[in-house]
Amino acid sequence: MLISLVIVALTTFLLNLPCGFWRQGTRRFSPSWILAVHLPVPLVVLLRLHFGLGFAWYTYPVVAGAYFIGQYLGGQWRKSRYNAPGTPLHKDQP
């Protein structure tokens, strides 16, 4: 059961990295922002059911933490990629 939880958490984290990257480049609460935040949810539910985790209370902090950390780090990845000096989209360049 523990290995299933680790696999689901790691997969949830990896699914949310590109979604967080995408979310960071959109206007907050726009349709694309809402889609970037909620698109991985059905996939995470399917993962939980496939690996037999169901919705046991002890799995929520681990999977939700992986979800939010993936979103956050994906957003930070976009910020660091596009705000680095010397990149075409750097905000300080004319």
Residue 81: pLDDT over 90 = no
In a domain, 44, yes or no: yes
- The reply to whether 90 falls in a domain is no
Higher pLDDT: 65 or 88? It is 65
Query: Confidence band (pLDDT; 50, 70, 90) for 87?
Result: low
Q: Would you say how long the chain is, in residues?
A: 94
In a domain, 78, yes or no: yes
Q: How confident is the model at residue 85 (pLDDT cuts 50, 70, 90)?
A: low
pLDDT in tens, 16-73: 999 999 999 999 999 999 999 999 999 999 999 999 999 999 999 999 999 999 999 9
Domain encompassing residue 49: 2-82
Domain count, the chain: 1
